[in-house]
Structure 1
Amino acid sequence: MSTYGVSVLGADLKTLVDTAQAADRAGFDAAWTSEFYSRSGSISMAAMAGRTQRCRLGSSIMYGIGRSPLVLATEARDLDELSGGRVVLGLGNGTKRMMSDWHSVADTSAPALRMEELVPLIRRLWNLHEGPVRHEGRFYHMNLVPTGELEPPQRTVPIVTAGVRPRMCEVAGRVADGLAGHPLFTTTYVEEVVRPAIAKGAAHAGRDPGDVELISMVICAIHEDPEVARREAAQQIAFYSSVKSYDTVLDVNGFTAQGEAIREAFGRRDLPAMYAAVTDDMIDTMAVAGTAEQVRAGLKRYEGVLDHIMLYSPSIGLTPQRVQENLDSLIRECAPAAAGKGGDGSG
């Protein structure tokens, strides 16, 4: 049975934490935070830890670049202790432009290989009680000799890695405990591209692909006027579709022409044209939008396709107040306990 979580957004940390607490109380399996140039994922998770009781706390995602492997390992260990063992460390590279222009990464080549080197290195750092970590890799270099005895970790923190294109999805199968999917993921893309890629990566590493949790955001908008909700979802779809890195998802779903129109409008900075280029079938395939009843019904198509369904509110072109109103509606109307869905923390 698929579990449900909420991607918590907030104009400020207090609002974000309030939303996470509401999701926890409503019985959601997880509350997920992210980071950007205006928000730290680790600080958000620390704030959430003190106000939640039982839900998993995940980063979807924190940047795996911009922090050293040691800083990532120690932050995750402290966060897990702070939360009583509820953290899921979600890591991603971001786009190559983010890597170079935001995080001063000189070598943006081979992002999949970078992640495949990083994840095992973090796990070795969590097990320093076993001895020094000496590592000479393509992207990371380390010679860490502990100065005293260390206790083993209380538990192994799960690591999920972000992926969209097949090779990055393979990474999860090779080295991670789960895949953090993109809001543009559709059931078709998951079944035809993502799961086979995870299985390929798992086979390469001699692992069972069933041990890799498939997690993805799903764009959701609730409004008493279904057309308002659909327009909000369309704006978010247009925003993501303007990034050429995601054209694989559009192509697999038959939306190549729409993607070209969206990117052409984006090049002219014509936002109305961008939004208008999102067709009704794109909204129906790439989002769940409408009344509360319509959204609950629409989410069912992801059950059994995703292991964990993360409700994600549109934000592009919306006021912070409207984003919060939508999040409140999603938590109230789609709560696992209210819908009779599993919310036992498994998954």
Structure 2
Amino acid sequence: MSTYGVAILSPHLRALAETAEAADRAGFDAVWASEFYSRSGTISMAAMAAATRTCRVGSSILYGIGRSPLVLATEARDLDELSGGRVVLGIGNGTKRMMSDWHGVADTSAPALRMEELVPLVRRIWNLHEGPIRHEGRFYRMNLVPTEAVKPPARNIPIVTAGVRPRMCEAAGRVADGLAGHPLFTTTYVEEIVKPAIAKGAAHAGRDPNDIEIISMVMCSIHDDPEVARRELAQQIAFYASVKTYDLVLDVNGFTKEGQAIREAFARRDFAAMFDAVSDEMIDTMGVAGTAAQVRDGLRRYTGVLDHIMLYAPSIGIAPQRVQENLNALITECSPGLMNAR
């Protein structure tokens, strides 16, 4: 049986914490923070950890690329202590343009190899009691000699890594405890591309692919008027589909023409045409929209395909008040108790 979580977006930390608390009370397995150029994921996680009691507190995702391995490891360890051992560390590179333009990274090559170097190094830092770290890698260099005795970690913090294309999904199978999937993921893409790639990575590392948790955002919009909900979902789909990096997801699902039209409209900054280029089939395949009952029914197609279903409220071109309204509805109308009811 799949578990359920909520990806929480808010322009204010207080509202973010209050929404996380509501999700925790409603019985969700996890609440998830993200970060962008306007929001810190670690500070968001701290606010959510303080407001919740039982659910996991995850990042989907933190930019591993923007932090040194030491800073990443120490922030995660402190967050885990703050939450009482409930943190899931989700890390990713972002797109190559984010890596270069946002984080000033000169070498954006081989992002999967970068992740495969980063994850074991973070774990090694958490286990500094085993001795000094002298690491000379392709992407990271560290010479860390503790000045006093270091205690073993309280627990092994799970790490999930972001991936879309097969090689990044394979990296999760090689080194991570789970995969943080993209909002554009569909059941077809997970079954045909993601799971085989994870299995390939796991086999390379001598691991059981069933031990890698498959987590993904699912774009959801609840509204009494189903057409309003569908339009909101279309806007979010168009936003992601405008990025050429995600072409493979569109192609596998038969949406190559729509993707081309979306990117052409984006190049003209014709956002209305971008949204209009999202077909009804894309809306029905790449997310769930409609009344509360329709969204509950639509979400069930992900059961057994994803290990953890993360409800994600569209935000592109949508007022913050409406985003919060949708989040509240998702927490109330799609709680695990309702979703798992027979």
Whether the 8 Å CA contact 1:159–1:178 is kept in 2: the answer is yes
Matched residue, 2:243: 243
Q: What is aligned with 1:139?
A: 139
Q: CA deviation at 1:338?
A: 3.2
1:215 and 2:226 correspond: no
Q: 2:336 corresponds to which residue?
A: 336
| Larger RCO of the pair (alpha carbons < 8 Å, separation 6+) | 1
Q: How many residues align?
A: 342
Shift in Å at residue 256 of structure 1?
0.1
Displacement of 1:341 after TM fit? 5.8
1:128 and 2:128 correspond? yes
User: Cα deviations across residues 186-241 of structure 1 (Å, max 9, x unaligned)?
Assistant: 00000000000000000000000000000000000000000000000000000000
Question: Which amino acid in the other structure matches residue 313 of structure 1?
Answer: A
Q: Is the Cα contact below 8 Å between 1:3 and 1:341 reproduced in 2?
A: no
Structure-2 residue corresponding to 1:90 = 90
Q: In the alignment, does 2:85 pair up with 1:79?
A: no
Alignment-mate amino acid for residue 293 of structure 1: A
Any idea what SS the aligned residue of 2:65 has?
A: coil
Uncovered stretches (5+) of structure 2, i.e. residues with no partner: none
2: distance between equivalents of 1:106 and 1:152?
35
- Match of 1:31, SS state, is strand
In the other structure, the counterpart of 1:30 is 30
What TM-score does the superposition give when structure 1 sets the normalisation length? 0.98
* Cα distance in 1 between the residues matched to 2:341 and 2:159: 25
Q: Spell out the pairing of 1:247-262 with structure 2 (5 A cutoff).
A: 247-262=247-262
Structure 1 segments of 4+ aligned residues over 6 angstroms from their partners:
none
> Matched residue of 2:250: which SS?
helix
Q: 1:316-327 maps to which residues of 2 (within 5 A)?
A: 316-327=316-327
Contact 1:313 1:323 in 2 (8 A): yes
**d(CA) in 1 for partners of 2:51 and 2:141?**
37
Matched AA of 1:273: A
* CA–CA separation in structure 1 for the residues paired with 2:104 and 2:172: 25
After TM superposition, give the deviation of residue 166 of structure 1 in Å: 0.3
- The 1-side partners of 2:256 and 2:74 are apart by 43
What SS is found at the alignment partner of 1:180? Answer: strand
The equivalent residue for 1:345 is none
Counting only pairs closer than 5 Å after superposition, residues 1-347 of structure 1 correspond to structure 2 as: 1-340=1-340
* SS at structure 1 position matched to 2:66: coil
Opposite residue 123 of structure 2, the aligned amino acid is R
Shift of residue 11 of structure 1? 1.5
| Local SS of the residue matching 1:278 | coil
The question of whether the paired residues in 2 share the 8 Å contact of 1:220 and 1:289 is answered with: yes
Give the distance between the partners of 1:249 and 1:58, measured in 2 at CA: 24
Which whole-Å CA distance do the structure 2 matches of 1:285 and 1:339 have between them?
19
User: What is the alpha-carbon distance in structure 1 between the residues aligned to residue 66 and residue 275 of structure 2?
Assistant: 33
Cα offsets for 1:105-151 (capped at 9, x unmatched): 11000000000000000000000001001100000000101111111
- Which one-letter code corresponds to 1:100 in the other structure? S
Alignment RMSD: 0.9
Question: Aligned letter for 1:48?
Answer: M
Report % sequence identity: 79
The one-letter amino acid of 1:188's match is T
Shift of 1:66: 1.3
Shift in Å, 1:337: 2.0
* Offset, 1:158: 0.2
Please, which runs of 5 or more residues in structure 1 have no aligned partner?
A: 343-347
